[in-house]
Amino acid sequence: MFIEQEFYLWKLTYDLVVAQDFQVLNMSAERGEVWLEKEQGWQTHVIRLSHKQINWRNELRRDLEKSYRQLSQNKKLFRGGKVQFHVLYVSEYPPVEEWENVESDISSSQNNPISIYYMDDENKTVEKKKLYEAFQLEEPIIDQQVSESEMEAMLPYLKQQLVKKQQDQRRQVLSIFDYGKPQVTYFLLAVNVLIFLYIEWVGESTSVDTLIQYGAKFNPAIMDGEWWRIATSMFLHIGFLHLFMNMFALYYLGTAVEKLYGTWRFTWIYVLSGLFGGVASFMLNPHVAAGASGAIFGLFGSLLFFGVQHKQLFFRTMGWNLIFIVILNISFGLLVPQIDNGAHIGGMVGGFIATATVRMPKQMNKPKQLAALAVFLLLISSMAFTGYKGLFNNEKGFSEVQETHDLNQSGDYDEVIEITSETLADPGRYEAALLFNRSFAYLQKGETSEAKEDLLRVLELSPKMAEAHYNLALLYQQVGEEDKAADHAERAADINPDQEDFKELYENLR
């Protein structure tokens, strides 16, 4: 009878949603139709449950094709993985024609797997068992040995509870994105801007010497024990454009992550990502570096962790856009020599692992969190050791670069020339840096031909060194070779557009 089929449909739906934690996508009590969803592993399962009598094979096929059209119209809800489609009918009688091969026909024609469960009165038990086995769930008892009046009395309650569960699920999703308030994000924005303004006030944020003085990542100083530079470099920026881009990213990513994870988790993720990215930069990048990029890429990592925990929700909201931005940033970093890819990629990896140590709110798992913390500590200590060992044991000329840089600052130019000349007999990969330091010493002593020779060799080895182009432009200007001076001044300004001295010299020469 009709009431028995309706009762069975809603009792089965009630168990799947309330007991088995299926998500309600759409529900129509009038049509006797419900769409549910469940993630299992990395696959999305969508179930359409319908109270409908199907009489003919072609009628079943048309109804399945209609179901596929409805699924494809909402395909944006299921991006990020393959969808396994299940269609379940509850009716009194099966179709009068053979229909079993329709399942394989539809699957092949739609290029998408489908499972059909036809629960007529004679096959309800078998088909229900098949459904629950597909999801590895414990099969419920759906008692139909009740009177029609009892069924009619229970139906409004079942539907009401399902509506309530659907509303609760929606509220739960909204609460995920509004767990915390972006307080620390705004604090970090203010701190970074204030430090930038202070650096500009006392010096120039594009000056390497100023950056080193105020805590930039400088490998020679770190080798001397100034490991605090890994942290302080997170709050320094090289020019206004660098600051603007990082603060723009921090505003949007920071507010999103802090709302997702809450204030203390966000702070933990940001700090650990910055430290992880800084140590990765120490290991991979020999140049002076500064900026919040490592910590900001750590926020990308935390959002990717959210995607692992809530795959469907991730792809319905930020998923593909976030992945595109990450790929774009990494690709851009690989193409532009000045970008510190070690800090970027290291920060993102560190952010993912740091997030795993605290996890999502209300999803605590102490063994997994401790394991993630152990992995984080092992990796960051391994990178620090590898960087230190590589620089200390294998990098010829490294300590001499640091020493001659300091001697140039103190005005001991003769000693700079002596040390660099000896070291250049076997300089390792620091030949360009040593030659540049020696050229600076020659310039200060007025030995312009020697300085010019060193600078030309520097640009053969490192054509993107803006400071070498600038110094060479000054030399050519002194001897009246204006065209060559303008050419090198233009290259210096192109490589480092934030350096006002470079732009000013180029403007004067062109």
The residues assigned a catalytic role are 293, 344
Q: Across 17-129, where does the E strand assignment appear?
A: 23-28, 33-40, 43-51, 83-90, 114-119
Within 10 angstroms of residue 138's Cβ, the number of other Cβ atoms is 7
What is the bridge-based pairing of β-strands 114-119 and 83-90?
parallel
Q: Rounded distance, CA 292 to CA 273, Å?
A: 10
Q: Rounded distance, CA 169 to CA 174, Å?
A: 9
Phi-psi region of 45 (alpha: psi -120 to 50; beta: other; left: phi over 0): beta
Residue reference for tokens 């010299």: 505
3-class SS at 120? Answer: coil
Q: Is 211:200 a contact under the CB 8 Å cutoff? A: no
Buried b / exposed e along 392-429 (16+ C-beta atoms within 10 A): eeebebbbbbbbbbebbeeebbeebbebbeebbeebee
Which is nearest to 424 in space by CA: 434, 414, 411, 436?
434
Give the tokens for residue 339. Answer: 């970008």
State the number of CA atoms in the 13 A half-sphere of 406 facing the CB: 8
